[in-house]
């Protein structure tokens, strides 16, 4: 077959011939002599002039491919040259991503704001108050005693339970009388044996033997009398351990059927007729507190009740965490007004000073906003970051509805008034309302 200009050669079908040349078939450039023979059934070799030249097509440079005439297939307009519109598309994509992030951030802020606990705040006001020395603490029993026994015995029954009031001589714990009787019988047998040895020594007449036997006999008699006194004394009768003073059973450490070791505490009885407050006073007042100094005590359980007391002890140890020292203020608990007070209750103490200082303005906080008011008082302060910050405070005074704070807060601070116990330190809050009226809640 003879080649014609600008026309790709055709191939006769052969058993292993290549497919027709065309744009999809990427053949390597031919050398000067044209392509080598393709084998049986392939196109004849080109002439000395090589393949016919390509005519100029839509491309800027002709492609040196064998059999390509420079014409593009239908529908192909050639490569697309870059244009100035590419930069605009980049800006559009960047703007879309920015808007998406902005929307997502807004949704996240909204969801976080919705999940934050609601809170009503109170903006602190001031009130002029005298600078009494004061501090809070817990009420303790002035006297307590433990029920013990000098021998190992088995408990058969309990006559009282925790919280019961008992009087001196009341039966508290029943012991196994059989074991007690065995101990007494053994002690009595030892007395009899010692007496026999003493009589024998006296019969022999040897002074040293008589002295030793006499000492053994005296020891045996003393042990026997001690057991008898235990069986029928001030703290045991008919095999039962007795109360040695009036009080209230506050702890029981034994159960029926158990065997205890000698001198093990079995029960605790507290005398609640006289109570004492362990009040924590700022260390700055250490030199102004004296023994027998009068004091006024108020409690959270009965806030309208003022109880008279006096300082009975000053503990010269400073707590480095609270910068306070401890003062014990004792009061009688016999009156009808105070008989409902028990150890473990919270109380506040105001020490009365001979010369009261002039009143100065201090922050006033509603009692409702102060947590653990008598032991470690603290409030949640909400600042500009909308978070609740747990802040320890010191209370210098109080009335029925309010407390006066001289350390830890400043005028204008916003404290959580409603819902304080549901927050954690540094937790985000959702402020519903801010109260500014005087602290009368």
C-beta of residue 423 within 8 angstroms of C-beta of residue 371 = no
Q: How far apart are CA 340 and CA 302, in angstroms?
A: 9
Digit-coded pLDDT (tens) for 293-346: 999 998 877 877 888 999 999 999 988 887 889 999 999 888 777 767 888 888
Taking the chain (441 residues) in runs of 10, the rounded mean pLDDT of each run is 48 47 49 50 51 49 50 53 60 80 67 66 72 82 88 90 92 84 84 89 86 90 81 76 90 93 92 90 86 89 84 91 90 78 87 64 81 79 89 76 80 83 84 72 40
C-beta of residue 392 within 8 angstroms of C-beta of residue 377 = yes
CATH architecture of the domain with residue range 119-129+360-435: Beta Barrel (2.40)
- DSSP label at residue 170: -
String of b and e for 227-252 (b: at least 16 CB within 10 Å)? beebbeeebbeebbbbbbeebbbbeb
pLDDT confidence of residue 58: 47
What residue ranges do the domains of the chain occupy? 119-129+360-435, 136-140+269-351, 149-264
Digit-coded pLDDT (tens) for 368-398: 888 876 667 889 999 888 898 999 888 777 6
- HSE (side-chain half, CA atoms, 13 Å) at 167: 0
Q: Is 136-140+269-351 in CATH node 2.40.30.170?
A: yes
Same fold, 119-129+360-435 and 136-140+269-351: no
Question: Coil, helix or strand for 183?
Answer: helix
Q: How far apart are CA 34 and CA 260, in angstroms?
A: 117
C-beta of residue 16 within 8 angstroms of C-beta of residue 41 = yes
pLDDT confidence of residue 25: 47
pLDDT confidence of residue 277: 94
SS (H, E, C) 184-238: HHHHHHHHHHHHHHHHHHHHHCCHHHHHHHHHHHHHHHHHHHHHHHHHECCCEEC
């Amino acid at each position: 077959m003879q080649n014609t200009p600008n026309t790709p050669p055709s191939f006769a079908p052969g058993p292993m011939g290549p497919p027709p040349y065309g744009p999809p078939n990427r053949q390597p450039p031919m050398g000067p002599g044209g392509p080598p023979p393709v084998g049986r059934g392939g196109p004849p070799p080109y002439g000395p002039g090589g393949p016919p030249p390509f005519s100029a097509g839509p491309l800027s440079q002709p492609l040196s491919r064998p059999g390509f005439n420079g014409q593009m297939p239908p529908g192909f307009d050639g490569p697309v040259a870059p244009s100035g519109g590419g930069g605009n598309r980049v800006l559009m994509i960047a703007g879309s991503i920015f808007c998406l992030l902005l929307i997502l951030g807004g949704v996240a802020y909204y969801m976080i704001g919705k999940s934050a606990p609601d809170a009503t705040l109170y903006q602190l006001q001031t009130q002029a108050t005298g600078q009494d020395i004061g501090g809070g603490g817990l009420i303790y029993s002035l006297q307590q005693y433990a029920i013990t026994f000098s021998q190992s015995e088995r408990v058969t029954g309990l006559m009282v339970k925790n919280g019961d009031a008992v009087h001196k001589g009341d039966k508290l714990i029943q012991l196994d009388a059989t074991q007690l009787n065995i101990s007494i019988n053994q002690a009595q047998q030892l007395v009899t044996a010692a007496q026999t040895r003493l009589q024998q020594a006296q019969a022999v007449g040897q002074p040293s033997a008589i002295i030793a036997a006499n000492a053994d006999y005296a020891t045996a008699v003393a042990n026997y009398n001690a057991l008898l006194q235990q069986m029928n004394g001030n703290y045991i009768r008919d095999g039962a351990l007795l109360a040695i003073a009036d009080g209230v059973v506050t702890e029981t450490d034994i159960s029926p059927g158990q065997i205890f070791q000698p001198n093990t505490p079995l029960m605790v009885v507290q005398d609640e007729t006289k109570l004492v407050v362990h009040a924590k006073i700022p260390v700055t007042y250490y030199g102004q507190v004296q023994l027998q100094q009068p004091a006024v005590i108020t409690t959270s359980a009965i806030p309208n009740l003022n109880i008279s007391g006096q300082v009975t002890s000053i503990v010269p140890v400073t707590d480095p965490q609270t910068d306070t020292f401890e003062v014990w203020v004792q009061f009688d608990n016999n009156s009808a007004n105070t008989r409902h007070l028990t150890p473990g209750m919270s109380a506040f103490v105001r020490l009365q000073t001979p010369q009261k200082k002039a009143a100065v303005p201090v922050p006033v906080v509603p009692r409702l906003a102060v947590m653990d008011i008598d032991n470690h008082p603290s409030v949640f302060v909400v600042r500009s970051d909308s978070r609740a910050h747990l802040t320890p405070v010191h209370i210098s005074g109080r009335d029925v509805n309010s407390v006066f704070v001289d350390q830890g807060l400043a005028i204008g601070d916003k404290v959580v008034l409603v819902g304080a116990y549901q927050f954690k330190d540094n937790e985000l809050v959702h402020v519903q309302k801010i109260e500014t009226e005087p602290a009368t809640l």
